[in-house]
Structure 1
Amino acid sequence: MSDTSEIGAAGRQLHLGAILEGVGADHSSWLDPELPGNASIDIGWYIDNARLAEAAKFDLVFVVDSPYITPDTAPHFLNRLEPLTLLSAVAATTSRIGLVGTLTTSYWEPYNVARQFGSLDQISRGRAGWNVVTTGLEGAARNYGREEHFDHKVRYARAREFVDVVQGLWDSYEDDAFPRDRQAGLFLDKRKQHRLDHKGEHFAVAGPLALSRSQQGQPVIFQAGDSSEGRNLGAAIAEGTFTSAQDFETGHAYYVDLKARATALGRNPDLIKILPGLVPIIADTDEEAQVIAQAAQGALDIDKLLVQLGRAFNYHDFSQYDLDAPFPNLSGVTLNSYKGHAESIIRRAQENRLTLREAAYRFGQWRLDFVGSPETIANEIERWFTGRAADGFLLRVTRPRDFALFRERVVPILQARGLFRTDYAYDTLRGHLGLPVPKNRYASREREAQAIAAE
């Protein structure tokens, strides 16, 4: 079945996701009187917003995670539900929307992850996605019995092997392994259960996984690293990437680079969906939206912005520097955290000769490029999409009014232009994203062997 929102000669479709962030990943959203103060731990809040996103025909909802906090961490991160538990509850109360959660490869084991995401995929009938991360914050190590965080390169080498093992475990059963023939007394065709017997540099996993595949074959793999190692991993394994491009030029450069890396590995670049984060400020007119944006900018707390800026540098303390001096020399600061993001901040601060204060306002908050009337926001989304800076966007969902304005006033414009679906054409996350169902590796080998024998 073809999706009603496919457009253009290339058949591209705009994709939309909702990042469910409870009381917010900034330090001000929780002040909104319409937002419950316990939203980040209220399963009802997540279910309600997932249903709203589903009614608007979004591709997916996304739950972020990280295993380390400090007293200065943003409100949502201080007190929030674990993604897999949360998404299982949402799965039982929705029917079409994709369900994507973050889980680190640095402090878990492949068998556990394969079983958890495989279970979510079965519970949701093929709507699960895994955002593969390596954990940027060094403090996480001490929550898992380690004195030191894994080195950046080791984290990514481990992540690549980890994903390979998980995907191998997901193929433990061929799709017709369970005949469930009551008359013959045959529940399992043992020939179609497969051990993995993986022995690699980081993991040794025997298998098989005690779980069959869902309607979409395997959960969709997402990834969000921006360093060279992160981009290489995304090019190799990702079917979707989450990015934080600061502007159209940065987004376009990332888009071109990642898809080129995927092509060099022999992958079809169209099968990797690039989804930058989106925090629009919407009002009836552009002028009203600009006033709101300026007021929000003026109300920002510089101390909290410095904390957010420091997070990319493993919560480095930027308060020790002169705010109006040039961005400080961080040559002695470890970048074994969010390396790609930290390097980008340093490079852009130096190129633009930013003071620390200017860098805090630019990088300590979500970008504000999307400001204006619903028509203006739709125009900017279309520009990024048609200009190959994005395949879609992830909308940050916290304040009720902001989410309602986007759903009720921006989405209909995108639909009227033929950019976005007016209804679901598929039941699985892969279907929404235009991704094929991966063939079971063992069944494929058997068919290849049969074809060779028949020649």
Structure 2
Amino acid sequence: MAVPSSHATRRQLVLNLFIYPGGHHEAGWRYPGARPERLLDITFYQDLARSAEAAKLDAVFFADGPAQVDNIRYASRFRLEPLTWLSAIAAATTHIGLIGTASTTYYEPYNLARLYASLDHLSGGRAGWNIVTTAVPQASANFGLAETPSHAERYARAAEFVDVVTKLWDSWEDDALVADPVSGLFADDTKIHPIEHVGRHYRVKGALNTPRPPQGRPVYVQAGSSDDGRSFAARYAEAIFTAHQTVESAKAFYADIKKQAAGLGRNPDHVKILPGISPYIGSTEAEARQLHEAFSDLIQPEYSISQLKQITGVDFSGHPLGAVVELDAFKDAGPAKLVASRFQLVVDIVRREKPTLRQLIDRLAGARGHYVVVGTPEKIADEIQHWFESGAADGFNVMPPWYAAGFDLFASQVVPILRKRGLFRAEYTGRTLREHYGLPRPQSQFAEAARATA
């Protein structure tokens, strides 16, 4: 049954396809019909992006991390460098946004600014930067560090990093590139500005050697939900990828971020809150449950327990699968060198549901702690609409358990219901990711300063 909509004519869902090699269930690559032999085939990802574009989704989203994690033995845990992959996807699509992850801890601002400016230019204004600080301990040794920088240090570095990159993208005013063969003037160099940044972490002279991106700046996306992450997101993010198991938790997060953004003088409508959702879709409830159970049967506990250790720092390898997980197991663990929000999510599940170890790893296997929904297309659409209209989400990052059929089911059966209810677009009305999200194109801070002194 459809949930009544009071916002259908004035507020639209944001829907991204979160592409994760092998699917978002840890055993998705094993499910019949999955195509693990295509995981290094760019045409596979181009086909996924074309399907998402045909469904008029806002963007495709690629996560990344600069390290090989420890538990690749049983799951598709390698990473494809997102900007290279998204550039190839840009050539195969015309409208869909292209969001990729890059770390402020392990990139340099000037290089990153060039990379994303280039993606924005070659795609005609469809780039988004998912800003992460990278907590995984395996990464630091790849960059000559003895240990992972502390949580506070990573976020301090990230704030300065974003400030520098923003200045670099603004360093060319919009009309600096003239290219007038009659006058012979190629660029108005009075409108190209060295940024002269000197800070605690960076010294960058600038200007960028690439003209200003079509969107002014790529869309700023962020995925942290810790206290520092929330403050950072409220200040900088234009879209926030977050994980919640309950609508109550999502509403509290949503209200907090919107309040913080407003307190910083930002328009809260320009900060899109996008929880992850992983749908298991069947023509009946029983069929959907059977699908979910089929994935659960493919779980390999050794892998799942190693995943749980990565999230919580607690080793359950000697714990019987049928025994209840006690809350005390986490009392000596802590998020100092972990992803704090994901650690808390697991603790909350244990406190709320008192699961056995098997039940807990089953919960996390579906989408690494993101919201798993099992049911008919109407039920999935009802859940999406309920979260959207109750102040829990502005949209969702869709996380199919497996590819490509897992997404095809969502696109062909759930999206039409959302569209019929007036919650999602029938056609694109713009070409850039900012236009899809309803975000303004920012002015160059250097152009604004020049006008102020004119």
Query: TM-score interval w.r.t. the shorter chain?
Result: over 0.9
Aligned to 1:410: 414
Indicate which of 439, 447, 450 corresponds to 1:446. 450
Cα distance, 1:347 vs. partner? 4.3
Q: Distance in 2 between matches of 1:160 and 1:82?
A: 23
Asked whether the 8 Å contact 2:72–2:78 carries over to 1, the reply is: no
Query: 1:257-272 counterparts in 2 under 5 A?
Result: 257-272=256-271
Query: How many residue pairs end up in the alignment?
Result: 444
Question: Residues 75 and 14 of structure 1: is their aligned pair in 2 closer, same or farther, counting only changes over 3 Å?
Answer: farther
Question: Residues 18 and 171 of structure 1: is their aligned pair in 2 closer, same or farther, counting only changes over 3 Å?
Answer: same
Name the SS for the 1:41 alignment partner.
coil
1:361 paired to 2:362: yes
Name the SS for the 2:128 alignment partner.
strand
Q: Distance in 2 between matches of 1:74 and 1:12?
A: 44
* Matched AA of 1:214: P
Asked whether the 8 Å contact 2:169–2:213 carries over to 1, the reply is: no
Runs (5+) with no aligned partner, structure 2: none
Question: Residues 76 and 291 of structure 1: is their aligned pair in 2 closer, same or farther, counting only changes over 3 Å?
Answer: closer
Query: 1:334-413 counterparts in 2 under 5 A?
Result: 335-350=336-351, 352-366=353-367, 369-397=372-400, 398-413=402-417
Q: Distance in 2 between matches of 1:335 and 1:23?
A: 30
**Alpha-carbon deviations, 1:282-340, whole Å to 9, x = none?**
111223212333443355333332222222236x5331445525141342556312122
Asked whether the 8 Å contact 2:193–2:207 carries over to 1, the reply is: yes
Q: Distance in 2 between matches of 1:225 and 1:63?
A: 16
Cα distance, 1:199 vs. partner? 0.8
Farther off after superposition, 261-270 or 228-237: 261-270
Aligned to 1:44: 43
> TM-score of the superposition, structure 1-length normalised?
0.92
Q: Distance in 2 between matches of 1:140 and 1:38?
A: 27
**Alpha-carbon deviations, 1:32-63, whole Å to 9, x = none?**
34222233321111101001100110000000
Asked whether the 8 Å contact 1:286–1:373 carries over to 2, the reply is: yes
Farther off after superposition, 108-117 or 27-36: 27-36
* Matched AA of 2:345: S
Asked whether the 8 Å contact 1:281–1:368 carries over to 2, the reply is: no
1:319 paired to 2:317: yes
* Matched AA of 2:246: D
Cα distance, 1:449 vs. partner? 2.7
Q: Distance in 2 between matches of 1:31 and 1:424?
A: 35
Q: Distance in 1 between matches of 2:221 and 2:46?
A: 22
Query: 1:20-99 counterparts in 2 under 5 A?
Result: 20-73=19-72, 78-99=77-98
Asked whether the 8 Å contact 2:335–2:343 carries over to 1, the reply is: no
Asked whether the 8 Å contact 1:23–1:38 carries over to 2, the reply is: no
Runs (5+) with no aligned partner, structure 1: 1-5, 451-455
Asked whether the 8 Å contact 1:40–1:76 carries over to 2, the reply is: no
Question: Residues 307 and 25 of structure 1: is their aligned pair in 2 closer, same or farther, counting only changes over 3 Å?
Answer: farther
* Matched AA of 1:428: T
Q: Distance in 2 between matches of 1:273 and 1:109?
A: 27
Asked whether the 8 Å contact 2:27–2:298 carries over to 1, the reply is: no
Farther off after superposition, 253-262 or 218-227: 253-262
Cα distance, 1:217 vs. partner? 1.1
Indicate which of 423, 426, 433 corresponds to 1:422. 426
**Alpha-carbon deviations, 1:230-265, whole Å to 9, x = none?**
111111100001111112122112111111111121
Cα distance, 1:399 vs. partner? 2.4
Question: Residues 115 and 82 of structure 1: is their aligned pair in 2 closer, same or farther, counting only changes over 3 Å?
Answer: same
* Identity over aligned pairs, percent: 42
Cα distance, 1:180 vs. partner? 1.6
Aligned to 1:188: 187
Query: 1:159-308 counterparts in 2 under 5 A?
Result: 159-308=158-307
Q: Distance in 2 between matches of 1:360 and 1:309?
A: 7
Question: Residues 332 and 430 of structure 1: is their aligned pair in 2 closer, same or farther, counting only changes over 3 Å?
Answer: closer
Farther off after superposition, 95-104 or 340-349: 340-349
* Matched AA of 2:193: H
Aligned to 1:3: none
Asked whether the 8 Å contact 2:434–2:440 carries over to 1, the reply is: yes
